[in-house]
């Protein structure tokens, strides 16, 4: 039997002591000792587990026979720790007496109260605890006497964040808030989303990932490394939450436009899931950020003494594939088949392979491929409300043929095929791609990667982007190559000479990698461009007219998409569901938005947008027979809104 110590912190009471029966689970035994309803007591075992319970919880535990075996076998023993005193001043746990060489028990609190409640980010309310709550949960004296409303706390925190001039300092301040007061963090983000989104996510999160080793304070997700091969299920079970609905996972090889950041890419899953909650309403406790550490090929990180990941070259081939297979199997075994796994910032050579490999047997979504495609398609549909015609009436040129570029192209082709009732192969003829070697044409087919070959059309070779624009004469130029300033003045002027309202989408992140700035697009097109970008740009004044650049941010799509998958209980993600998300976003763009040059609705109504997208996605899942949440709600928009997480403080008994 496991060795056990039980230490009772007794509180004065006139009631008689009550000895409850001995309790045993598969891994521990403990004696419960209760003195009055106000008693607080502690238990621990040799496995390092421990807890603190109130009287009612103790009664429930003792009477329920918790644990697999329940009760104590004949001959079982419980060793009571020496020095049980009512004052609780003795070093009962031996931590002060222990040397650095002696192990001590890492105590954990099961029912939060007092100091531990103030350290619990999910339940901590800071100065918003009422007088009654302070008495009921032993907080009296642990807080200053003032009681503040959550709105006043939010006002003060926003003022503090604004005092920082450096974006990374703002990011750190917000992450610190998330770690100490979860509800206040999300209320602040929801109420000020347009101001704080660039801080919590792109472009600031890119710098945060680059410096993650230096600013690292405490882990915010799960790290699964090559060292864990063969025991990934065990690692997943170490995460305290068991009801997980959305996982965002990265291997850190292609973080935004910054390249291989290895284990420090954790900032991306953490940021994405913060937006799942703030923008899409998925509960924080149902979200799990994961980084797969398979090494890094970044020489600077390998030499960095503060790097937090494995200092070895990236695993490839069979070793990499086996780790991913084990990870996906462990996720399914631990959380079931209805947990959405979002692949994030995997390199091109893995992104397409993983999506195709797992999409038939797992609920998977790649935001870089499918999410980016949906938000860009929505922008193109909205832009055509100003330009005129349908997608099938125009030609599109992509600068960048990686996972984002080809993902967008494929979804646009799918939408053209649906609208024009032609085959996807025929629809692809409307789409041309330029990569680092020039226009993708049939004469290059032998040297092209498989996902590029479908867009190799008959044409003379063209070596540069300007030549491709002049040859193809597209209505829209879409950049996703991560090559900053590649949309030169000559390129924009060429687009403007071909079209009255050229569509210019500079999608690469962060801002330094953007193909052009908003000011350049409007100036070089003489104010005629319909502009969208991946990173935010300030409004531009040209010829006394104010232009508000549209941000083609994936945050328009993936939070609502994920919510739709969750509320419908979808078991697979289909292309039709991604198309439904794009159409749901496009229909939120009003004529007033178009008049201002906007091809996306304002982020200030993002929760309304997400609810509508979720409803469209869920409806498609039900129509395709992929939904398991039955019966189907009559009003999916209202149902989606009712399922959204609220960051408003709860009252405690």
Q: What is the pLDDT of residues 24-51, one digit of tens each?
A: 333 333 434 333 344 444 443 333 344 4
Indicate whether 220 pLDDT > 60.
yes
* Ordered structural domains, the chain, with CATH: 105-148 (1.20.1370.30), 201-362 (3.40.50.10380), 368-552 (3.40.50.720), 553-644 (3.40.50.10380)
What is the DSSP secondary structure assignment for residue 444, as one 8-state letter?
G
Q: What is the pLDDT of residue 109?
A: 46
pLDDT digits (tens, 9 = 90+) for 125-139: 999 999 999 999 999
Q: Which residue has the tokens 């005129």?
A: 388
Task: State yes or no: pLDDT of 104 exceeds 80.
Answer: no
Average pLDDT of the segment spanning 591-595: 85
Q: Given pLDDT bands bounded at 50, 70 and 90, which one contains residue 105?
A: low
CB 600 within 8 A of CB 551: yes
Query: Does the structure show a pLDDT above 80 at 75?
Result: no
pLDDT band at 106, cuts 50/70/90?
Answer: low
User: Closest Cα to residue 284, out of 186, 353, 429?
Assistant: 186
Residue 45 marked ligand-binding: no
Q: What is the pLDDT of residue 185?
A: 97
Instruction: Render pLDDT for 410-452 as a digit per residue (tens, 0 to 9).
Output: 999 999 999 999 999 999 999 999 999 999 999 999 889 888 9
- Per-residue pLDDT, averaged over 465-488, amounts to 95
Percentage with pLDDT > 70 across the chain: 83
Candidates 295, 157, 163, 313; CA nearest to 224 is 295
Q: What is the pLDDT of residues 78-87, one digit of tens each?
A: 344 443 333 3
* pLDDT(11) > 80: no
How confident is the model at residue 323, as a pLDDT?
A: 97
What pLDDT does 94 receive?
53
The rounded distance, in Å, linking the Cα atoms of 246 and 220 is: 15
- Assess whether pLDDT exceeds 50 at residue 301: yes
Residues annotated as catalytic are 201, 272
pLDDT reading at 329 higher than 60:
yes
Q: What is the pLDDT of residue 235?
A: 97
- Least confident range from 215-229, 235-249, 410-424: namely 215-229
Whole-number pLDDT of residue 2: 36
pLDDT of residue 596: 79
Mean pLDDT of the chain: 85
* Alpha-carbon gap, residue 140 to 524, rounded angstroms: 64
pLDDT at 534: 87
* pLDDT tops 90 at residue 337: yes
Under DSSP, the state recorded for 388 is -
- Integer Cα distance of 362 and 554 in angstroms: 22
- pLDDT of 478 > 80? The answer is yes
Residue 103: per-residue pLDDT: 65
pLDDT at 217: 78
What's the rounded Cα separation, in Å, for the pair 245 and 484? 37
For 38, residues 6+ apart whose C-beta sits below 8 A from its C-beta are 11, 13, 55
Q: Is 641 annotated as a binding residue?
A: no
| Residue 176 labelled as part of a binding site | no
Positive or negative, the CA dihedral 113, 119, 124, 126 is: positive
Flag whether pLDDT at 488 surpasses 60. Answer: yes
Q: What is the pLDDT of residues 508-543, one digit of tens each?
A: 877 888 999 999 999 999 999 999 998 889 999 999
pLDDT of residue 36: 38
Structure tokens at 2: 């496991």
Task: Locate 554 and state its tokens.
Answer: 């994936």
Question: 167: which 2 tokens?
Answer: 């974006």
543 annotated as belonging to a binding site for a ligand? no
pLDDT of residue 68 exceeding 80, the answer is no
pLDDT-above-90 percentage for the chain: 70
The answer to whether 101 is a known ligand-binding residue is no
Pairwise pLDDT comparison (147 vs 77), residue with the higher score: 147
CB atoms within 10 A of CB 539: 10
**Residue 214 has what pLDDT?**
79
Is 493 assigned a ligand-binding role in the annotation?
no
Residue of 61 and 557 predicted with greater confidence:
557
């Amino acid at each position: 039997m496991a060795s056990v110590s039980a230490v009772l912190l007794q509180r004065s009471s006139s009631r008689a002591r009550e000895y409850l029966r001995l309790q045993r689970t598969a891994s521990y035994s403990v004696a419960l000792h209760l003195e009055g309803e106000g008693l607080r007591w502690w238990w621990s075992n040799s496995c390092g587990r421990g807890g603190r319970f109130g009287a009612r919880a103790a009664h429930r535990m003792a009477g329920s026979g918790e644990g697999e075996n329940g009760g104590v076998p004949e001959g079982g023993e419980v060793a009571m720790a020496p020095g049980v005193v009512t004052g609780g001043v003795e070093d009962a746990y031996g931590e002060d007496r222990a040397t650095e060489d002696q192990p001590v028990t890492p105590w954990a609190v099961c029912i939060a109260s007092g100091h531990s409640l103030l350290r619990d980010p999910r339940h901590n309310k800071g100065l918003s605890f009422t007088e009654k709550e302070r008495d009921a949960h032993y907080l009296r004296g642990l807080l200053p006497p003032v009681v503040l409303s959550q709105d006043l706390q939010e006002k003060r925190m926003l003022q503090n964040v604004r005092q920082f001039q450096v974006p990374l300092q703002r990011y750190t301040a917000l992450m610190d808030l998330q770690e100490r007061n979860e509800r206040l963090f999300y209320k602040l983000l929801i109420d000020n989303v347009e101001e704080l989104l660039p801080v919590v996510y792109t472009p600031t999160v890119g710098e945060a990932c680059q410096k993650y080793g230096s600013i690292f304070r405490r882990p915010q997700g799960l790290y699964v490394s090559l060292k864990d091969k063969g025991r990934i299920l065990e690692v997943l079970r170490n995460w305290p939450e068991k009801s997980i609905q959305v996982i965002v996972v990265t291997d850190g090889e292609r973080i935004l436009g910054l390249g291989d950041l290895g284990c420090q890419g954790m900032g991306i899953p953490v940021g994405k899931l913060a937006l799942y909650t703030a923008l899409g309403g998925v509960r924080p406790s149902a979200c799990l950020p994961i980084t797969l550490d398979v090494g890094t090929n970044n020489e600077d990180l390998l030499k960095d003494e503060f790097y937090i990941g494995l200092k070895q070259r990236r695993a490839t081939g069979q070793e990499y594939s086996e780790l991913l297979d084990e990870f996906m199997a462990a996720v399914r075994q631990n959380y079931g088949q209805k947990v959405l796994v979002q692949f994030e910032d995997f390199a091109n050579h893995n992104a397409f392979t993983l999506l195709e490999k797992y999409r038939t047997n797992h609920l998977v979504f790649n935001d870089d491929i499918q999410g980016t495609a949906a938000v860009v398609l929505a922008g193109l549909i909205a832009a055509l409300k100003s330009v005129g015609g349908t997608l099938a009436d125009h030609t599109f040129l992509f600068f960048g043929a990686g996972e984002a570029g080809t993902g967008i192209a494929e979804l646009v082709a799918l939408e053209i095929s649906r609208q024009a009732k032609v085959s996807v192969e025929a629809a692809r003829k409307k789409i041309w791609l330029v990569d680092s070697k020039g226009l993708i044409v049939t004469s290059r087919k032998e040297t092209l990667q498989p996902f590029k070959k479908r867009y190799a059309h008959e044409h003379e070779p063209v070596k540069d982007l300007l030549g491709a624009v002049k040859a193809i004469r597209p209505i829209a130029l879409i950049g996703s190559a991560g090559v900053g300033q590649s949309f030169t003045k000559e390129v924009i002027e060429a687009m403007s000479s071909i079209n009255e309202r050229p569509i210019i989408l500079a999608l690469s992140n962060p801002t330094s990698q953007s193909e052009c700035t908003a000011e350049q697009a409007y100036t070089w097109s003489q104010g005629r461009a319909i502009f969208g970008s991946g990173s935010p740009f300030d409004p531009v004044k040209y010829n006394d007219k104010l232009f508000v650049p549209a941000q083609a941010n994936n945050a328009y799509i993936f939070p609502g998409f994920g919510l739709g998958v969750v509320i419908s209980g979808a078991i697979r993600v289909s292309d039709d569901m991604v198309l439904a998300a794009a159409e749901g976003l496009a229909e939120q763009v009003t004529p007033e938005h178009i008049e201002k040059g906007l091809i996306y609705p304002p982020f200030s109504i993002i929760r309304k947008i997400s609810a509508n997208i979720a409803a469209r996605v869920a409806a498609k899942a039900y129509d395709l027979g992929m939904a398991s949440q039955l019966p189907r709600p009559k009003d999916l928009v209202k149902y989606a809104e009712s399922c959204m997480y609220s960051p408003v403080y709860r009252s405690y008994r």
